[in-house]
Amino acid sequence: MTDRDHTTVTDARGPVNTGPGDQYVFYAATDRLIRRRAESLRISRDDRLHLAYRFVPPARYRIAADLLEEPGSVVLVDGRPGSGRRAAAIMLLHRFGEDRNVDEEGVRVEELPVTSKDRDAGSDEDEVSPGRGDRFLLDLSGITDEAEYGEARRRLARHRTQVQEAGAHMVVVLPWAMRHDHPPDLAQHTVTLGRPRGLAVLTRYLRMDGMQFRAADLAGTDLQRLCDQSAVRELVRLAGLVRDARDSDRFGDGFSAWLGQALHAVTNRADEVERQVATVRETPERALFLAAAVFEEVHADIVYAAWRRLMGMVGHEEEATSELGRTDFGARLKVLGIERGADGRLRFERLAYADAVRTYFWANFPGVRDDLRDWIDTSSELRGLTTDERVDVVVRFCERSLAAGRPDHLFDLAARWADRAPGAQCDPRAVAALELGLGHERLGGWFRRRMYEYVRSSALSDGLARVLTVVCRRSLAATHPDQAVVRLRYLAVRETEASQEAKEALLELASHDRRLYRLLIDRLRHGAGRNTSRVNPHLDLLTALLRSDRVPDPPRWPDLFLGWEAVLAQPPTELWHALVGSWLSAVADDGTREMALEVMVGATHGRAAALHRLYVIAYDWAGPTPSAARAAVANRFWQHIDHARYARTPLTEQSGAGQRTMEEAR
């Protein structure tokens, strides 16, 4: 469902996967997070809190929690598909911060790539670089191939060593299909989780949605069977459908009625759609059936226009008779069981029927999927659609395309929409499509790799560059921050109109994370050293990164030394003035940062031209009539410079030499 009430995030405590099914997360470009009955790969604190309020511990969960307690521990969890293994793994990692209002500063809670396919070219996929207390998830549950599992086991062994040495924590979700080949040497660290009580899961989710009910309301035979046999994710979906029935005001006015509708929806909808499609044999009726399902809750006139476009897209010839001679639109809707409300919007008479219709058509008419992609391309632009409605339509298409294994359809449409966006605007449909793809459990790696290929391409358009920047900043940075830094760096050094947005996003991301800051320094200083042209975007970006207002607090002086070393190795430029001046001001305002003066001078390695330029910059910064604070900082800086130039000269003579150099600078 699209949340139309908030302007930032619909629910900061977003859903986290409770089973092995597909997962999605996506955003509208207006910064409104739109969540449907799909879940996110994100394991941010907000998402962990959301899950913590609803989580029902499975059998043997406490054993796994005890094993994970010690620093350097690695716990492997096993369990049948649908038992909520991933949710349990996330909660095991979350428990280290659940007794505090916020996570420990600097602690990482991240998911690691499963195979070498899910990494950037040229990077070390086996280097985790954990810190003490960091928490990692390695979800291998989707592996079914022997060779892939062999590679994953080798990666697990390397990660385990790194985690143990650093005093971090890691939870690994094992693939049930490969249980015959689980690492025997890790048997003592492996816990096979049971399935949580289905009724307890359903009850918890219903109560979190504010449902009022009695125990007797959940005593039906069909519901008990569902709770005993269904995957946890299906019970979560059932709770969501009960909420949808309540919120729609169309399916009764009490819990029993809402639950009855939801039960019917999860057990009978697929068969009902199949039977109805079998009775609807004509192309116009089938096209209207699908158009209404994709454009549900949209005004009838817009659905009519989308329907006509769909018929043209699939090659249906127009009837020879005039419009007035054909079956009228309202009659067609009535035959198909589609309501036209008093507000003119179309909706199906039965709960969750549109979802089932879309699922049926994408599964059973594979030959028209390309046509449906092109139909969505133009129909989502129909006049009268609101931004939210356009994104809803795109989301419905994307869900089905991902389920059918066609991620290329999403990326293709995102590129088209991005390229057609006017001026510097960012098309919300393109953003929604890519963020939905990135959040998909099985195909998210495909989207990350495709993004990497595009940002490195010289043919990348400014429109798509803007979309990729937004997607990196809002979505990829939350799940794979290292990869977000890599992609944003490529976008930021392209020297186009769109590169400034990427530069700002990159600097903002790195300045709040010491590890990412160091990663970006390493990437940029190598780029700055290789580029000998007059225009060096890597050097420009590195200089901006090293300014005092961009450094994570407290500064890590070895990291800054490496960065300053790369900048000061280049011929003096105007870039130096802003960089050095920012640090002189920082030291004047905060004495704890005085180390910057010595480290900056040391980064010159005593080169006379560089030291002379630092003298001049400090003189300009202090001004002809400096304040006491500025004069003191400038004098200390000059002393460090003198010491570097005259290392074998007594300190009193160094100061005199410094004064002579200042006279020269004047």
pLDDT tens sequence across 4-54:
333 222 233 333 333 333 333 333 333 333 333 333 344 667 778 888 899
What is the rounded distance in angstroms from the CA atom of residue 560 to the CA atom of residue 381?
A: 49
Q: In Å, how far from its chain's centre is CA 655?
A: 54
Under 8 Å CB-to-CB from 344, ≥6 apart: which residues? 299, 300, 301
pLDDT per position as a tens digit, 149-170: 999 999 999 999 999 999 999 9
The whole-chain average pLDDT of the chain stands at 85
What is the rounded distance in angstroms from the CA atom of residue 411 to the CA atom of residue 464?
A: 10
For residue 189, give the H/E element and its range.
Answer: none
Place of tokens 């590129």: 415
pLDDT per position as a tens digit, 198-232: 999 999 999 999 999 999 999 988 999 999 999 99
What is the rounded distance in angstroms from the CA atom of residue 111 to the CA atom of residue 289?
A: 41
What is the rounded distance in angstroms from the CA atom of residue 139 to the CA atom of residue 174?
A: 7
| pLDDT for 454 | 96
What is the rounded distance in angstroms from the CA atom of residue 584 to the CA atom of residue 317?
A: 75
Question: Of 301-305, 314-318, 412-416, 515-519, which range is least confident?
Answer: 314-318
Calculate what percentage of the chain has a pLDDT beyond 90. 69
- With vertex at residue 658, the alpha carbon angle to CA 655 and CA 662, rounded to the nearest 5 degrees, is 140
Structure tokens at 113: 């790539």
- Residue 265: exposed, middle, or buried by beta-carbon count in 10 A (0-12, 13-18, 19+)? buried
Place of tokens 């009519």: 304
Under 8 Å CB-to-CB from 347, ≥6 apart: which residues? 250, 296, 297, 338, 339, 341, 354
Under 8 Å CB-to-CB from 501, ≥6 apart: which residues? 466, 469
Evaluate if residue 331 carries a pLDDT over 90.
yes
Pairing of strands 33-34, 26-27: antiparallel
pLDDT per position as a tens digit, 371-413: 999 999 999 999 999 999 999 999 999 999 999 999 999 999 9
- Residue 369: exposed, middle, or buried by beta-carbon count in 10 A (0-12, 13-18, 19+)? middle
SS3 4: coil
**Prior bond to 624 cis, omega within 30?**
no
**Pick from 45, 59, 46: which is nearest to 12 by CA?**
46
Predicted confidence band at 626 (pLDDT cuts at 50, 70, 90)?
A: confident
Place of tokens 């991620």: 407
Structure tokens at 437: 């793809």
Q: At what angle do helices 628-645 and 651-665 cross, to 10 degrees?
A: 110
Evaluate if residue 467 carries a pLDDT over 90.
yes
What is the rounded distance in angstroms from the CA atom of residue 386 to the CA atom of residue 375?
A: 18
| Mean pLDDT value across residues 483-493 | 95
- The terminus-to-terminus CA distance of the chain in angstroms comes to 68
Structure tokens at 343: 């507000």
What are the counts of helices (DSSP H) followed by strands (DSSP E) for the chain?
29, 9
What is the rounded distance in angstroms from the CA atom of residue 585 to the CA atom of residue 547?
A: 11
**C-alpha to C-alpha distances, 204 to 235, 279, 432, 555, 642, nearest whole angstrom:** 11, 41, 30, 45, 69
Length of the chain: 666
Residue 232: how many CB atoms within 10 A of its CB? Answer: 27
Predicted confidence band at 645 (pLDDT cuts at 50, 70, 90)?
A: confident
pTM as predicted: 0.83
Are the C-beta atoms of 143 and 154 separated by less than 8 Å?
A: no
Evaluate if residue 264 carries a pLDDT over 70.
yes
